[in-house]
Structure 1
Amino acid sequence: MGHPTPAAVWIWMFPLLLLESRAGHLGAQETEMLEGQECRPHEQPWPTALFQGVQLVCGDVLIDDNGVPTAVHCKKLKYTVRLGDHSLQNKDGSEQETAVAQSLPHPCYNSSNKDHNRDLMLIPRDRASLGPQVKPIHLADHCPQVGQKGTISSWSCVTSPQENFPDTLNCTEVKIIPQKQSEDAYPGQVTDSMVCANESSGADPCQGDSRGSLVCGGVLQGITSWESDLYGRPERSGIYINICHYLDWTKKTMGSKG
């Protein structure tokens, strides 16, 4: 029996090379992807989206039938708030979009520096048409506890460190971590008015991203505020506006605009 020809060797090896190449490609994707996945459509009917033209600015929530809390830095000169979204591109008839007529920042927010403290704003809007796909979420009446589990729902990026924003709402399971852990990771940037959460695999909002909310036990505990660039490090966490610190102001402000 003679030696195989080069062509015969190539034909025999090609399927193996193809499989190896495909496995390597999939492996690279798996190391890049975060642990969030697409939410079941409208299973969480409270997320809202702020748009400047066709560009998504921030993702927030509906807290009653006419109020949306968000971060102050999401404010634009001219923008809209949309309810009932799942896919940002493909409409299913549940969407309700109106122009933002008024933005109400927390009175103690200091816009002259990069302090994230009190980075909270309320957007009154026309009363929503509530239904299975559009419902408000209750505000927490107590602060979250360390170790408590929650869910981030957002249109935040799903790869890290390269940003890749999804078309559909994504959900990620997270856990509240000790304040000290975040303070050590972000010296001088974390205050008592913030709450920190992370997922062991690193599934947190992207740097500078404000496209989601933190829900624990069926109530709103946080609005995404900011994220520092600590990709791949275990101390990395998402930083959220701690809603429980602003209950009185939120209820009073929304009540006066009802």
Structure 2
Amino acid sequence: MQNGSVNDTSTGNPGTLARGLDIVERIAAGPGVTVQRLAADLGLSRSAAYRIVGTLRERGYVVGDAELRLGPVVLRLGLQAMEGLDIHAVGPGPLRELVAETEETAFIAVVDDDQMCYVMQEEGPQVVKVVSKLGSRAPLHASALGKAYLSALPAADARAVVDRLPLTGYTDTTLTTPSALHADLDLIRERGWALDDAEREPGVRCIAAPVRGTGGPVAAISVAGPRDRIVAAQPAIVAAVLRTAARLSAALGAAPPPERT
């Protein structure tokens, strides 16, 4: 590549482009990133790191001097990508209605590698509530959203995913063995909804259900709040989440699920 440009592929060498993408992803992973830190983390010389960051800064992908942040171009591209998702088009109305019915915060997340990525959130009216930053991620095994999504995969596919996951323990209730997670997924398939009982955050309880498209699960939808409040209203919340998931799935062209006896 010539002049250190991340978008000049005239030499056929993708190395600088890859490093530029590595830098963007590293900045996105956490605050307080410096050029020196990037160089150390990514195995770059400082001069190369400064050169690539300079190009990214010129193009609007990166802002900041001492500490780097993602720039407005990344936000614009992210929003455009979200608008291209069918779930983003059909989700807002049902999500608002779910919050109005349950008075708790509701979320929609999609799978991203082996995690769930929050793409939509509608906050509940309560003073004490659960919120998450859009774009943040939740582990598949320790979130109702992740377990709901896994439960909607073909059983063999779900087993393959579970068997490769690092089943990190976050609280005393996290499922940290494949056998325990497989058993929970069997239960979720039977009843249609997933439960996160403080498995990632102490004191937080979450109810979720998968959202299906024509080819299988495309997302999951959930309601979350303080554990005691969710326990008190759980039957009504479960019913509301299942209705909303079915409504979204129908809007995305999924066949109606079989009736449960």
TM over 0.5: no
Q: Which has the higher strand share?
A: 1
Query: TM-score with structure 2 length normalisation?
Result: 0.22
| Structure ID, larger Rg | 1
Query: TM-score with structure 1 length normalisation?
Result: 0.22
Q: Which has the higher helix share?
A: 2
Looking at both structures, which has the greater relative contact order when contacts are Cα pairs under 8 Å and sequence separation is at least 6? 1
